[in-house]
Chain A
């Protein structure tokens, strides 16, 4: 009962600002509405017993990516604050595509029986994730760090002013 209440509140906290993100005419407002969306996703992770992922989600998504998006908005044309038209001419087509995709996926979901595991949940620990990263998934770990390095260098080179 309590879990259902928490789930409903978190879904509302996530989906209503998400609608504002994709439909608002003021781009700074839509960027700031990303924060409640990400916090709602964090709440979902906590309900799913993934606390470490929840902490990283707040730290990186709500704390860093949102700041990055706000910086770029304020340093480019969107920061002038004038009310320009924010949507392309494809709103009916886009809405139809999104609704049709949602319908297809929901129908598929409702018709599949998922092999849900019964029984005790194992206790959670950060050590398990750390051990997994360094034993089973060490290749992914190393490649991700390479990708981070490349994107860091690439972003600096692309955004640098040509002197």
Chain B
């Protein structure tokens, strides 16, 4: 049985939902960012799989995946800078303890 498009889509769905579970249920802000990275990877797998199976003549899926990787790196950098600034000011990075708008 050859590996078809549906196999890749199923695996990427599972990865996406694992990432979603991580974002919804973790306390540490960095762990939430890790869940977001998993979701972005799942989206990338979808893009490249569709490129190869539905439109193999074009490279737009791979181009899109490269842009998503770049933007994920940017977003991780800014997000982690925010986490560090929050830790410096609020002494905690557990998101359920950051619940006051101002002291």
Contacts and interface: CB of A to CB of B under 8 A. Distances in A.
Asked whether any CB of A lies within 8 Å of a CB of B in the complex, the reply is yes
Interface of A: 3-4, 7, 11, 14-15, 18-19, 21-22, 27, 30-31, 34, 37-38, 41, 44-45, 47-50, 52-53, 56-57, 60-61, 64-65, 68-69, 71-73, 75-78, 84-91, 93-95, 97-99, 101-102, 105-106, 109-110, 114-117, 121-122, 128-129, 132-133, 136-137, 140, 144, 147-148, 151-152, 154-156, 158-159, 161
Contacts of B25: 22, 87-88, 90-91, 94-95
Contact of B52 (A50, A85, A105): A50
A77 to B, nearest CB: 6
B84 A132 contact: no
Contacts of A49: 52
Contacts of A116: 4-5, 53-54
B53 A109 contact: no
A76 B24 contact: no
B70 A148 contact: yes
A132 B62 CA distance: 10
Nearest to B58: A132
Contacts of B49: 44, 48
B31 to A, nearest CB: 6
Given A27-B30, A44-B8, A86-B31, A61 B37 contact: yes
Kindly name the residue among A71, A76, A147 whose own CB sees the greatest number of chain B CB atoms within 10 A.
A76
Given A22-B22, A98-B20, A151 B74 contact: yes
Given A91-B25, A148-B70, A158-B81, A99 B17 contact: yes
Interface in B11-57: 11, 13-22, 24-28, 30-31, 33-35, 37-38, 41, 44-45, 48-49, 51-57
B14 A117 contact: no
Contacts of A144: 67, 70-71
Contacts of B77: 68, 151-152, 155
B59 A128 contact: yes
Contacts of A128: 59
Contacts of B91: 77
Contacts of B44: 41, 53, 57
A34 B34 contact: yes
7 contacts: A7-B7, A22-B18, A44-B49, A50-B62, A68-B76, A101-B20, A158-B81
B55 A117 contact: yes
Given A3-B3, A69-B34, A97 B60 contact: no
